[in-house]
């Protein structure tokens, strides 16, 4: 059983309140929010002010904040105050990873770590015993609408084993290139959460698309 997490990146930014209505109508449980700083990745999206603006419109929905930032540490508190339910930072960022995890936990929410396609699972080893979530990038982070990289999907079992070896139950998400053609296989390989931008917000009938994807991963 896996959960589809729509990614706001593919939403219509000119009508976000309507897009949140579509989230509710589809009965989506997790909204994935891609924060890009124009430095860690070659794209800029939005910050904590937008997360805060969406919070009143997303009651009952988990706000899953994915920080693609070179220096996330000093911003963590602001994303928490804006209403994030979980925050994921990249293991490749330039801040102290343990300090990021500790800061997220100090605010009482779930901490995740993400790895880019070229980063091996072993990079998570020092931290995996103390986090709740791992986000495996299955495209180069920065843009939606790219094709899935299967060699990254294949990291899932190794991440699960690393967590289990530390006696840890974590959720594993994949991010990038998820569509109706590949989601069942990705879920079968062991993903708990499949982030999907184009395939959900990009669909004309989001409710139907979300329903089809959810049926395929369950």
Expressed in percent and rounded to 5, the helix, strand and coil fractions of the chain are: 40, 20, 40
CB of 34 to Zn ion, least distance (A): 4
CB of 68 to Zn ion, least distance (A): 7
The entry of Zn ion, ligand DX5, none near residue 177 (CB within 5 to 8 angstroms by kind) is ligand DX5
| Active-site choice (37, 64, 95, 175) | 175
Residue number of the CB closest to ligand DX5 reads 197
Nearest to 195 by CA among 133, 125, 121: 133
Strand partners, 87: 65, 111
175 is catalytic: yes
Nearest to 62 by CA among 107, 21, 108, 31: 31
Interface map 72-111 toward Zn ion (x if CB under 5 A): ----------------------------------------
Could you tell me if 45 and 77 are in contact, meaning their C-beta atoms sit under 8 angstroms apart? no
How far is Cα 171 from Cα 5, in angstroms, rounded to an integer? 13
| Active-site choice (34, 37, 95, 192) | 34
Ramachandran region of residue 183, left (φ > 0), alpha (ψ -120 to 50) or beta?
Answer: alpha
How far is Cα 84 from Cα 63, in angstroms, rounded to an integer? 5
Does residue 34 interact with Zn ion by CB under 5 A?
A: yes
The entry of Zn ion, ligand DX5, none near residue 146 (CB within 5 to 8 angstroms by kind) is ligand DX5
Does residue 198 interact with ligand DX5 by CB under 6 A?
A: yes
Interface map 154-193 toward Zn ion (x if CB under 5 A): ---------------------x------------------
Q: Which residues contact 9 (CB under 8 A, 6 or more apart)?
A: 34, 45, 144, 197, 201
Helix ranges restricted to H, the chain: 16-26, 48-54, 76-82, 97-106, 150-153, 156-165, 183-189, 206-216
Considering the complex, state which of residue 186 and residue 195 has its C-beta at the smaller distance from ligand DX5.
Answer: 195
Considering the complex, state which of residue 164 and residue 208 has its C-beta at the smaller distance from ligand DX5.
Answer: 208
Q: Which residues in the 29-48 window bind ligand DX5 by CB under 6 A?
A: 32, 34
Which residues are catalytically annotated? Answer: 34, 175
- Which residues would be at the binding site for ligand DX5 (CB under 6 A)? 7, 9-10, 32, 34, 66, 139, 141-142, 144-146, 175-178, 195-199
- Which residues would be at the binding site for Zn ion (CB under 5 A)? 34, 66, 175
């Amino acid at each position: 059983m896996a959960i589809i997490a729509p990614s706001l990146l593919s939403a219509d930014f000119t009508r976000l309140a309507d897009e949140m209505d579509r989230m509710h109508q589809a009965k989506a449980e997790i909204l994935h929010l891609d924060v890009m700083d124009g430095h860690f990745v070659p794209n800029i999206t939005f910050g904590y002010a937008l997360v805060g603006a969406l919070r009143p419109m997303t009651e009952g929905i988990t706000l899953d904040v994915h920080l693609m930032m070179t220096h996330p540490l000093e911003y963590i508190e602001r994303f928490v105050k804006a209403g994030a339910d979980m925050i994921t930072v990249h293991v490749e960022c330039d801040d102290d990873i343990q300090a990021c995890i500790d800061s997220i936990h100090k605010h009482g929410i779930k901490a995740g770590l993400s790895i880019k396609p070229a980063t091996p699972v072993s990079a998570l080893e020092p931290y995996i015993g103390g986090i709740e979530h791992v986000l495996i990038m299955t495209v180069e982070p920065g843009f939606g609408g790219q094709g899935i990289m299967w060699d990254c999907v294949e990291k899932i079992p190794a991440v699960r084993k690393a967590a289990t070896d530390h006696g840890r139950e974590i959720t594993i998400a994949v991010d990038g290139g998820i569509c109706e053609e590949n989601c069942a296989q990705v879920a079968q390989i062991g993903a708990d959460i499949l982030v999907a931008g184009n395939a959900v917000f990009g669909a004309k009938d989001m409710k139907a698309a979300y329903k089809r994807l959810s049926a395929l991963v369950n």
